[in-house]
């Protein structure tokens, strides 16, 4: 029989059935009456013989039904009615679950968008990333030799001046090998992408614009294609505009410019940018083969260089899917957040389960009646579970709403350079996750109460009218739940405590400079302008002179790389009489080029020797090193008077001063681990960078008591009047620079704190609820005790003892859990051990205090019990 026909004729079937059963009963009654039984008795006898009429009818109907679905809908309707009847309970439970599910959905959206959703490129599964960084020369060799994949490289952090037509603008550019776009499979919105070979000198004067730049600066005009623009004083033809959702390697990139692969400029070719390399696997190649080939290439790559390369260079090279490569930094952080938020949900579940259990006590009677009417245990359990799943689904819906809000908040809170943050949105995966989570949550919340209630001693509860039947089983279950809840809260609060301590340590790190009252700005003449060292230096000189004359400015200095500014200036240095253990005569230094007065302006303490003076600009070559560098290369002796030389420079420099260490790379490290030391040299024609030129990009640091925006405006004006082709960019206070350096840990910490606060709140509500229930259950007992002469203090002791038991057990379990689990977050901690005893102790004390406080309210109610009132209710 076909299903649709069944459905349409079902009403008739049911009507037939009802009538048939009624007729059956009537016939029986008639027969019994005929045999001489009084009608009333006959009716009862007929029913007795027949059995449970409703159940039989239901069972008969069930034959025609698609059973689970139909009872499911019945259960849902019934559940909805039940929930509507106890609005307060429903509201609290739904809200609690919505918070839990919402937080999880928001964090999962991040995990999904960043770690799970595949990159927005065709056949993204074939895209790989070669771990390790290679200069142009190695890239070109790799491009020729690799058989398993096509490779491309890119170098971020190259800024370009855009001049001509309006105010000079500093653009963030990414240098790319010509194949990058085609390897990604990216298509331009307008024009074309780079062709093979367009990264060779003479064929590379092209540029591709980002969509945003095209809109803002070029008014979205299609005519831009084929036109030339001035970048760093060089004319480049615009050949393409990328679509708005193309953000490789990051959102910051405004222009893409071909690499300038010129083997003749040996230094640049072999030691310029060490670039990340991406690749696309060829159709028949596997990741393993690519990995093997990359290792093979690496083993020979060192020999390609015009100088010996340390054996450790890229020694652990591998090939990983591009997605993993791009998000490696945030993976741990995201997963930690997901774990934290999952704990919050668990606590929310526990809370609602407890709430349901309290209600179970009052519902036992209802369930008993339904069981008496013939409902099986499974049937009752299914009904109760449907109800809790319904509850959780409501929570899920509301949670989705919270999550939408939360997600926009998260996007604002997380550091803007979080990879793929812009790609994060709520897609079907997120919806499926939320749906699944809601159902799971509902089952979790409902399971304990359902099991308990359906097992309850029903006849007992019928007899006692629903009182006193809250058996010890229920009480034990509730105790376990509340202990678990406190334990989870303790775990989360400890995690948050560790994050706070770590963040505190990080933000109280002595960076080695004073960040107050310093305004910084990047001043960048065209590279060609600085090709003439004298002209370049004269320009900067006059900038400094003008700035120093601004009102309220007590000092100003220039530096090529500002501490925590995100740039590293590397330069190989020779040290007199020094050969390192591996035979390397020219360790890699971080070379800072500064104008005299820099240390004073930045408040960097001089430990020994002297500061640079104006005489050093032209006199005998000098240098200053940091304490760490002095210790490393001249242990147990003074570095003063020692000699160092920039590689290829003619004259040795004398070390005239040692300054204290500066956290220049980030707040945890002075320098990246591939840098051997830090040196400062005065800004003059001999102070050259790796390209043997004086730096064309300097940052000015201005110590001022005046209004920052006023000084910034004056700076722009005076530079524009000197040379209108020089943009001023990155205008920010040193304080802002430091804040940006801690933005990632700051956001993680604040999220952890928010989750921990939520957990704590839910935990407090939990223990409060359980104890209140306990007190209400024991009102009579307490009344009797008071009537028999118990003092308030005895009652206090009695109730608080219960509360303290929950609290201490929960704290003990939570501490153990934290002891076992916090090591997972050690990579995110700075300056604090995951087993930091102070944090554990503090959290334990705080949790004890808070939970006992939560116990106090119900305790007071117990102390106020009036024995007369309590006993009258018996």
Partner 1 sequence: MKRPEQRDLFPGALEMMILRTLKRHPLHGYALVQHIKRSSKDLLQIEEGSLYPALQRLLKEELVKAEWGISSTNRRVRTYRLTAAGAKHLEHEVSRFEKMLEGITRVLARGES
Which parts of this chain interact with partner 1 (CB under 8 A)?
Answer: 1, 16-17, 19-21, 23-24, 26-28, 30, 49-53, 55-57, 59-64, 368, 371-372, 374-376, 458-459
Residue number with CB closer to partner 1 (234 or 462): 462
Least spacing, CB of residue 21 vs partner 1, in Å = 6
Least spacing, CB of residue 7 vs partner 1, in Å = 13
For residues 383 and 539, give the distance between their C-alpha atoms in angstroms, rounded to a whole number.
82
For residues 36 and 42, give the distance between their C-alpha atoms in angstroms, rounded to a whole number.
9
774-810 per-residue burial string, b: 16 or more CB within 10 A, e: under 16: bbebbbbebbbbbeeebeeeebeebbbebbeebbbbb
Residue number with CB closer to partner 1 (63 or 69): 63
How many other C-beta atoms are found inside a 10 Å radius of the C-beta of residue 525?
25
Least spacing, CB of residue 49 vs partner 1, in Å = 5
Least spacing, CB of residue 61 vs partner 1, in Å = 8
Residue number with CB closer to partner 1 (36 or 581): 36
For residues 32 and 45, give the distance between their C-alpha atoms in angstroms, rounded to a whole number.
9
Least spacing, CB of residue 3 vs partner 1, in Å = 12
Residue number with CB closer to partner 1 (141 or 457): 457
Least spacing, CB of residue 369 vs partner 1, in Å = 11
Residue number with CB closer to partner 1 (370 or 716): 370
Instruction: Find out whether 160 and 173 touch, Cβ atoms under 8 Å.
Output: yes
Intra-chain end-to-end CA distance of the chain, in Å: 61
Element (DSSP H or E) covering residue 48: helix 39-50
Least spacing, CB of residue 381 vs partner 1, in Å = 14
Least spacing, CB of residue 14 vs partner 1, in Å = 10
Taken in order 210, 215, 216, 219, the sign of the CA dihedral is positive
Residue number with CB closer to partner 1 (35 or 673): 35
Least spacing, CB of residue 50 vs partner 1, in Å = 4
Least spacing, CB of residue 378 vs partner 1, in Å = 11
Least spacing, CB of residue 829 vs partner 1, in Å = 57
For residues 132 and 319, give the distance between their C-alpha atoms in angstroms, rounded to a whole number.
9
For residues 742 and 763, give the distance between their C-alpha atoms in angstroms, rounded to a whole number.
31
Element (DSSP H or E) covering residue 206: strand 206-209
Classify burial at 313, counting beta carbons within 10 Å of its beta carbon; exposed 0-12, middle 13-18, buried 19 or more: middle
Residue number with CB closer to partner 1 (8 or 816): 8
Phi then psi for residue 553, to 5 deg, are -90, 120
Least spacing, CB of residue 38 vs partner 1, in Å = 20
For residues 694 and 529, give the distance between their C-alpha atoms in angstroms, rounded to a whole number.
11
Candidates 279, 569, 247; CA nearest to 418 is: 247
Residue number with CB closer to partner 1 (25 or 338): 25
For residues 625 and 66, give the distance between their C-alpha atoms in angstroms, rounded to a whole number.
82
Specify the 3-state DSSP secondary structure of 144: helix
Candidates 506, 491, 507; CA nearest to 839 is: 491
Least spacing, CB of residue 365 vs partner 1, in Å = 13
Residue number with CB closer to partner 1 (55 or 328): 55
Kindly give, in sequence order, each residue whose CB lies less than 8 Å from that of residue 763, ignoring residues fewer than 6 positions away: 347, 485, 486, 488, 489, 810, 847, 851
Candidates 119, 752, 111, 100; CA nearest to 430 is: 111
Instruction: Find out whether 617 and 682 touch, Cβ atoms under 8 Å.
Output: yes
Least spacing, CB of residue 1 vs partner 1, in Å = 7
Per-residue CA distances from 235 to 223, 232, 772 (Å): 17, 8, 78
Q: Is the peptide bond preceding residue 249 cis, with omega within 30 degrees of 0?
A: yes
Beta-bridge partners for 175:
155, 257
Least spacing, CB of residue 12 vs partner 1, in Å = 11
Beta-bridge partners for 12:
none
Question: To the nearest 10°, the Cα dihedral for 681, 687, 688, 689?
Answer: 10
Residue number with CB closer to partner 1 (54 or 472): 54
Beta-bridge partners for 553:
704
Residue number with CB closer to partner 1 (50 or 307): 50
Residue number with CB closer to partner 1 (245 or 460): 460
Candidates 591, 593, 671, 678; CA nearest to 631 is: 678
Residue number with CB closer to partner 1 (61 or 632): 61
Specify the 3-state DSSP secondary structure of 210: coil
Kindly give, in sequence order, each residue whose CB lies less than 8 Å from that of residue 842, ignoring residues fewer than 6 positions away: 497
Residue number with CB closer to partner 1 (39 or 535): 39
Residue number with CB closer to partner 1 (328 or 369): 369
How many other C-beta atoms are found inside a 10 Å radius of the C-beta of residue 373?
10
């Amino acid at each position: 029989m076909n299903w649709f026909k069944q459905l349409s004729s079902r009403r008739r079937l049911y009507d037939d059935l009802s009538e048939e059963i009624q007729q059956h009963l009537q016939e029986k009654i008639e027969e019994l009456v005929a045999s001489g039984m009084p009608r009333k008795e006959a009716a009862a006898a007929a029913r007795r013989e027949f059995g449970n009429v409703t159940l039989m009818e239901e069972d008969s109907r069930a034959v025609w039904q698609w059973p689970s679905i139909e009872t499911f809908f019945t259960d849902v309707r019934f559940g909805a009615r039940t929930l509507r009847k106890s609005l307060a309970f429903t509201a609290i439970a739904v809200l609690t679950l919505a918070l839990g599910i919402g937080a999880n959905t928001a964090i999962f959206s991040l995990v999904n968008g960043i770690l799970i959703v595949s990159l927005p490129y065709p056949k993204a599964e074939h895209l790989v990333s070669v771990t390790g960084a290679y200069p142009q020369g190695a890239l070109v060799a790799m491009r020729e030799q690799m058989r398993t994949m096509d490779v491309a490289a890119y170098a971020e952090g190259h800024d370009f001046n855009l001049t001509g037509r309006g105010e000079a603008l500093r653009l963030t550019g990414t240098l790319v090998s010509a194949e990058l776009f085609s390897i990604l499979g990216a298509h331009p919105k307008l024009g074309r992408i780079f062709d093979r070979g367009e990264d060779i000198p003479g064929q590379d004067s092209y540029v591709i614009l980002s969509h945003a730049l095209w809109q803002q600066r070029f008014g979205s005009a299609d005519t831009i294609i084929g036109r030339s623009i001035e970048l760093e004083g060089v004319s480049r033809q615009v050949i393409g505009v990328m679509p708005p959702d193309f953000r490789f390697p990051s959102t910051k990139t405004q222009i893409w410019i071909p690499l300038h692969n010129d083997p003749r400029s040996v230094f640049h070719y072999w030691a310029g940018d060490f670039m990340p390399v991406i690749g696309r696997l060829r159709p028949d190649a596997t990741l393993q083969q690519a990995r093997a080939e990359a290792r093979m290439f690496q083993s020979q790559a060192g020999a390609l260089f015009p100088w010996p390369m340390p054996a450790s260079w890229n020694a652990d090279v591998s090939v990983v899917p591009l997605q993993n490569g791009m998000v490696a930094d945030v993976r741990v952080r995201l997963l930690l957040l997901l774990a934290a938020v999952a704990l919050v949900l668990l606590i929310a579940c526990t809370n609602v389960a407890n709430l349901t259990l309290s209600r179970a006590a009052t519902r036992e009677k209802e369930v008993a009646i339904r069981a008496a009417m013939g409902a099986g245990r499974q049937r009752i359990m299914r009904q109760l579970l449907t109800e809790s799943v319904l509850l959780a689904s409501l929570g899920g819906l509301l949670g989705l709403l919270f999550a939408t809000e939360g997600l926009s908040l998260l996007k604002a809170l997380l550091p803007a350079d979080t990879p793929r943050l812009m790609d994060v949105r709520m897609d079907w995966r997120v919806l499926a996750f939320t749906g699944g989570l809601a159902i799971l949550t509902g089952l979790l919340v409902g399971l304990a109460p359902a099991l308990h209630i359906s097992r309850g001693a029903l006849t007992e509860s019928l007899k006692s009218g629903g009182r006193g039947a809250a058996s010890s089983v229920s009480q034990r279950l509730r105790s376990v739940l509340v202990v678990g809840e406190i334990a989870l809260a303790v775990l989360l609060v400890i995690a948050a405590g560790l994050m706070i301590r770590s963040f505190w340590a990080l933000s109280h790190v002595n960076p080695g400079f004073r960040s107050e009252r310093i305004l910084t700005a990047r001043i960048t003449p065209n590279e060609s302008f600085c090709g003439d060292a004298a002209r370049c230096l004269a320009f900067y000189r006059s900038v400094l002179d003008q700035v120093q004359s601004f009102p309220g400015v007590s000092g100003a200095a220039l530096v090529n790389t500002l501490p925590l500014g995100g740039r590293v200036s590397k330069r190989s240095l020779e040290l007199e009489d020094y050969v390192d253990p591996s035979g390397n005569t020219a360790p890699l230094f971080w070379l800072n080029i500064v104008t005299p007065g820099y240390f004073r302006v930045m408040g960097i303490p001089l430990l020994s020797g002297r500061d640079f003076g104006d005489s050093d600009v032209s006199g005998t070559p000098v240098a200053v090193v940091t304490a760490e560098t002095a210790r490393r290369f001249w242990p147990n002796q003074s570095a003063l008077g020692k000699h160092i030389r920039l590689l290829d420079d003619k004259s040795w420099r004398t070390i005239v001063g040692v300054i204290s260490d500066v956290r220049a790379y980030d707040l945890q490290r002075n320098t990246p681990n591939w840098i051997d030391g830090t040196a400062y040299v005065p800004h003059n024609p001999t102070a050259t960078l790796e390209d043997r030129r004086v730096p064309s990009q300097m940052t000015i640091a201005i110590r001022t008591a005046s209004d920052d925006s006023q000084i910034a405006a004056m700076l722009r004006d005076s530079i524009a009047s000197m040379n209108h082709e020089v943009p001023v960019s990155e205008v920010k206070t040193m304080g802002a620079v430091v804040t940006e350096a801690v933005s990632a840990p700051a956001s993680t910490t604040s999220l952890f704190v928010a989750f921990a606060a939520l957990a704590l709140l839910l935990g407090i509500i939990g223990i409060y609820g359980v104890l209140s229930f306990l007190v209400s259950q024991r009102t009579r007992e307490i009344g009797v005790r008071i009537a028999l002469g118990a003092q308030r203090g005895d009652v206090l002791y009695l109730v608080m003892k219960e509360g303290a038991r929950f609290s201490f057990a929960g704290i003990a379990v939570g501490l153990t859990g934290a002891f076992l689990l916090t090591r997972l977050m050690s990579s995110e901690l700075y300056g604090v051990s995951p087993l930091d005893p102070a944090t554990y102790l503090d959290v334990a004390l705080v949790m004890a205090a808070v939970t006992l406080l939560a116990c106090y309210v119900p305790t007071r109610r117990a102390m106020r019990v009036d024995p007369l009132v309590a006993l009258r209710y018996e």
